[in-house]
Amino acid sequence: MKEIENKEIRYNTATKSYIINLPFAFLIISTYIIYIIVVLTNSNELIPFIPGSSLSDIIVLFVLFPLIGFSLLFFTPIVALGYYKIYKRIFRNKKDFYLDMRVQMGKFTLKDILKRIYLPGLLICAVSQIVVINLTSISAWVPGDFPEDLKNILALYNGAFFSYFIIILLLVPIWLLYDSGVMSKTIPDRVLTYRIPEIVEPISRVYFNIFKGFSSIAFIINILTIIIDVIAQQTKIYVVLFILLLPFLGIALIIPFLVLYERILPFLIKFIHKRSRLHKAELTLVSGEDCIACNFKRKM
């Protein structure tokens, strides 16, 4: 009976992800179509530092890059443990750490799933803008014969595919920390116990808030900068509209990854539980009857 309940919860979680994305499927598909049409009709080359024609470059970006992204999924537990050790070192004298087996995918709310889908889109957009505009130059990301008013669009879209790898290694480990139930609890002070309440929270919350603030601020600043440049150079307004669609390209890249992540999540959680080196006494164990929220069968 319990296995059926677990499967239902896992199925419902994935179903919610699909349902949420259906209204945006048209925008995502349109983004891909626009991207391909713009490239194929204006240049025989897509990215200067990737050999081949525009068509072969598109195959590399839309097929090879996602496969590389999927392979990076197996490195995310190592990064997640690094996040945990950094947090533990900073708060080693202020907090205790333990695992709560009840914090699992089955307890996700609609708000949680929305964050998992749209935050990566904003982050990919923000990182692409920083890499293309601030760290490198637009000319390095577009062919020389590409139309001048479309160079900003192509450069940011090309940068989004490379930013995809960075976001996987930075953001997905935070999801894994939450799904693994790695929690922190303030150590009560004997003198100030009555003043300071005991705070229990997942350590992933701090990292998540950092990335959420960074992505929001960076996206707004860069969009305003681009709009000002467009007005100053009297560029066509559709350039801004194309750039505003960029987060949907990031969402389209992250959706297949999120589905795969849900499939292998039990194995990733087991790795975190084994390598986190939390004492058994610190585990918040749940009886078989209460472990409905778990996505994998716990072996005692």
**pLDDT tens string 192-201:** 555 555 666 7
Instruction: Give the chain's domain count.
Output: 1
Q: Is residue 91 one of the residues assigned to a domain?
A: yes
Does the pLDDT of residue 12 top 60, yes or no? no
Distance of CA 110 to the CA centre of its chain: 16
Mean pLDDT of all residues in 161-168:
86
**pLDDT value of position 166:** 87
Q: In which residue are the tokens 């987060």 written?
A: 247
pLDDT of 24 reads: 64
On whether residue 240 sits in a domain, the answer given is yes
Q: Is residue 231 part of a domain?
A: yes
Which residue blocks in 245-293 are alpha helix, DSSP H? Answer: 246-275
Rounded to whole angstroms, the Cα distance separating 183 from 201 reads: 6
Give yes or no for a contact between 166 and 201, defined as CB atoms under 8 angstroms apart: no
Is the pTM for the entire model greater than 0.85? no
Mean predicted confidence (pLDDT) in 250-277: 81
| For range 70-96, the mean pLDDT | 86
Q: How confident is the model at residue 79 (pLDDT cuts 50, 70, 90)?
A: very high
Could you identify the residue written with the tokens 């293309």?
132
Q: Report yes or no on 300 lying in a domain.
A: no
Could you tell me the residue range of the domain that residue 178 belongs to? 2-293
Rounded Cα gap, residues 75 and 10, in angstroms: 23
E runs forming strands in the chain:
95-99, 182-186, 200-202
192 domain residue, yes or no: yes
pLDDT band at 300; cut points 50, 70, 90? very low
